[in-house]
């Protein structure tokens, strides 16, 4: 598809978006998302069905907004985001809604050894490397290859040596919205040198709506008998530990905030400032698409189910949100008013031989899928 055709499609979808009239009535301006960064043009795109609307920008491949109805049919925006590219560029939090890579989560001290060579990566999280580094995939302009009302496909070529990683990594990501109210994220990548790859999306959610108060009353279920305990810098200690009898037991749904009072007495909770841990998903077969868990907001009835082919999921409870960022509705992003559920391989996998492997070899294809499904709880 050539640039002119993409531009026409973009304008058509954005015309529909900007003239749409509904009760949520906050209108993003297409012009605020059109900018040239490193010689590449950013834009805003709309996916929609009869119930849900999803707005995506190719700057970082980000989910900007996701509107879904509550039990009364009232639309609400459940993804935190900003009203312009300039706001994303100046934000204190760099990961809102973004595609994360080349390696999501942390790599200890920014080092790993592969095929006898030690690689050094930029340090951007205390003493560790986080989410692909300061110029990770979240800060790149992705090339839009195809777009229509139900899907958008994007590509990014991460060059050999970028952020210290070996190999030219060709990455393709597709967002698809179906009539079952499922937002499917499909990832695919190839490389010309052996390299670690662990891709995910870093949307922050509040099912009551962006900046609508605490998420501690949200109900969370995770299909995980184990989690990976961490040290004080949030690097895994190399074991899978049972959640039984710990605040990390979400096998039966409970409110996110129920056990936060153990933060000062539970070492793991203390290290994370609450929840910021990888959960080992229960899988009958490796790489099967299975239900990782779900979240319900009891006030609105909105429910989000998460399905993934990945072996783990990082649950983050908004512990480091400090109000320094102001979202698209003019409200601050405050402490524990959002959560993230990032489908992934485990943190620091290149340095943890007991963890599932994330090394992609030349000639092999990296492929994985995850789904966010939206509904109203019974």
Domains in the chain and their CATH numbers? 3-67+96-101+133-182 (2.70.98.10), 106-130+198-376 (2.70.98.10)
The residue with tokens 């959960």 is 279
Which two tokens mark 334? 């405050």
Point out the catalytic residue in the list 129, 310, 342, 345.
Answer: 342
Question: 286 an active-site residue?
Answer: no
Instruction: Work out the pLDDT band at 378, boundaries 50, 70, 90.
Output: confident
Give the model confidence (pLDDT) of 55-72 as tens digits. 999 999 999 999 999 999
Give the model confidence (pLDDT) of 203-242 as tens digits. 999 999 999 999 999 999 999 999 999 999 999 999 999 9
Give the model confidence (pLDDT) of 249-301 as tens digits. 999 999 999 999 999 999 999 999 999 999 999 999 989 999 999 999 999 99
Please spell the DSSP secondary structure of 116-127, one letter per residue. TEEEE----BTT
CA distance 106 to 345: 11
Question: 135 an active-site residue?
Answer: no
Q: Of all helices (H) and strands (E), which one includes residue 367?
A: strand 366-376
49 pLDDT exceeds 90?
Answer: yes
48 pLDDT exceeds 70?
Answer: yes
Spatial CB neighbours of 16, under 8 Å, sequence gap ≥ 6: 46
pTM of the model: 0.93
Point out the catalytic residue in the list 202, 218, 277, 345.
Answer: 202
Beta pairing partners, 44: 57
Instruction: Work out the pLDDT band at 11, boundaries 50, 70, 90.
Output: very low
């Amino acid at each position: 598809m050539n640039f002119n055709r993409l531009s026409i499609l973009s304008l058509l979808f954005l015309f529909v978006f900007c003239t749409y009239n509904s009760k949520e009535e906050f209108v993003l301006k297409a012009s605020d998302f059109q900018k040239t960064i490193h010689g590449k043009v950013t834009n805003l795109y709309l996916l929609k069905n009869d119930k849900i609307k999803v707005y995506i920008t190719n700057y970082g491949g980000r989910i900007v907004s996701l509107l879904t109805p509550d039990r009364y049919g009232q639309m609400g925006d459940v993804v935190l985001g900003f009203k312009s590219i300039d706001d994303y560029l100046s934000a204190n939090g760099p990961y809102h809604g973004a595609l994360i890579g080349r390696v999501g989560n942390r790599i200890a001290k920014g080092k790993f050894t592969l095929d006898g060579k030690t690689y050094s990566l930029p340090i951007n999280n205390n003493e560790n490397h986080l989410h692909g580094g300061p110029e990770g995939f979240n800060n790149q302009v992705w090339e839009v290859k195809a777009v229509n009302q139900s899907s958008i496909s994007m590509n990014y070529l991460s060059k050999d040596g970028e952020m210290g990683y070996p190999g030219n990594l060709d990455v393709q990501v597709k967002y698809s919205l179906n009539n079952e109210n499922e937002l499917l994220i499909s990832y695919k990548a190839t490389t010309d040198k052996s390299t670690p790859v662990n891709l995910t999306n870093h949307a922050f959610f509040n099912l009551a709506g962006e900046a609508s108060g605490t998420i501690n009353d949200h109900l969370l279920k995770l299909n995980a008998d184990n989690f990976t305990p961490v040290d004080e810098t949030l690097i895994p200690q190399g074991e899978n530990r049972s959640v039984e009898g710990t605040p990390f037991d979400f096998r039966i749904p409970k409110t996110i905030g129920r056990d936060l009072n153990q933060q000062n007495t539970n070492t793991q909770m203390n290290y994370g400032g609450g929840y910021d841990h990888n959960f080992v998903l229960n899988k009958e077969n490796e790489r099967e698409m299975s239900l990782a868990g779900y979240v319900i907001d009891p006030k609105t009835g909105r429910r989000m189910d998460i399905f993934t082919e990945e072996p783990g999921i990082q649950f983050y409870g908004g512990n480091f949100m400090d109000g320094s960022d102001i979202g698209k509705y003019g409200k601050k992003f405050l402490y524990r008013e959002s959560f993230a559920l990032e489908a992934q391989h485990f943190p620091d996998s290149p340095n943890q031989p007991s963890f599932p492997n994330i090394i992609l070899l030349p000639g092999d294809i990296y492929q994985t899928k995850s789904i966010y499904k939206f509904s109203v709880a019974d």
